[in-house]
Amino acid sequence: MKGVIKADISRMVRNKLTWIFIVISVAGVLMTTGMYALMTLLAENIPADEGGAMMGAFAINSYETLFAGTYNSDVLILIVTVMAVLFASAPYRSGFIKTISEYVKPRYKLIVSEYVCIFIYSVIIAFVAGIAAFLFGGLMFKGLFASVTTKLLLKLLGFVAGHSLLLGTFACMIVGMTNVLKNTALTLISSLLYASGFGTMIYQLISIALFRLNLCSESFALADYTVIGNIYGMTADSMGDDIIRVAIVCVIVALLSMTVSSLMIEKQDIK
């Protein structure tokens, strides 16, 4: 198993896309931070009757709000989605998976290695983006940055850690979809639609339907028990119960996805 994981890590490190995705994630955070800085500047300089009041809605009044807004953005999850699809489908497109499966027995080791590597890489992307969000926020909002305390710093670190776990698990979901569909274009389109908001919208509609049928309370939200729902819903103020729920959801989803992929690669012929 260690040899397979080492080979996958080596393959990812040599791939230019590995470093490109990290650069794009940093650039995405920079653009989001710049957008907030621009909105705040406009709100301060445009009169209220000329649109300043509307711009004021985007104004940032605390460093915690700034960090959460720049870090927990659509850009990061879309980057992780594309990364997972491309890396998971590459062995099928190149024929590498067919060749190496003849030498690695049992085959599920290939799946476990793939999941481990992509999960770790997703966490790395998330942490690099978190560091970028912290630094860019400090450069563009020096006044807010001056109020950062050790307590707030630890709070933001916990937020990044939880978000990294969710993004890594989401990448595992996408890997599972790739292994099941074995079609790069179909997987990429469907996963991007799911990540861009359609997933949470579907869960909201299901929650409403269940409430209408008197099968749950009005406060029930199916999205709270999904990875994508927690990615968009998790905040720096999330309580202990929320964190425990997130951890349980991540473990269940990752194990389920890995199990399905392992069963498929063991029972199906690799083409």
d(CA 149, CA 230): 26
pLDDT tens profile 74-104: 788 888 999 888 888 876 666 555 555 555 5
Q: Are 172 and 258 in contact (CB under 8 A)?
A: yes
DSSP notation for 108-120: HHHHHHHHHHHHH
Cα 152 to chain centroid distance, Å, stands at: 23
State the average pLDDT over residues 1-26: 81
Its pTM stands at 0.83
pLDDT tens profile 19-29: 999 999 999 88
d(CA 130, CA 110): 30
Q: Closest Cα partner for 110 from 96, 120, 123?
A: 96
Can you read off the two tokens belonging to residue 16?
């230019």
Can you read off the two tokens belonging to residue 157?
């670190």
DSSP code of 50?
A: G
- What own/partner pairs with CB < 8 Å and gap ≥ 24 does 247-251 have? 247/165, 249/169, 249/225, 250/165, 250/166, 250/168, 250/169
Ramachandran quadrant class, 60 (left: phi over 0; alpha: psi -120 to 50; beta: rest)? beta
pLDDT tens profile 204-248: 888 888 888 888 887 788 888 888 888 887 776 766 677 788 888
Neighbouring CB atoms inside 10 A of 147's CB total 11
Question: What's residue 128's pLDDT?
Answer: 92
Q: Closest Cα partner for 28 from 90, 91, 77?
A: 77
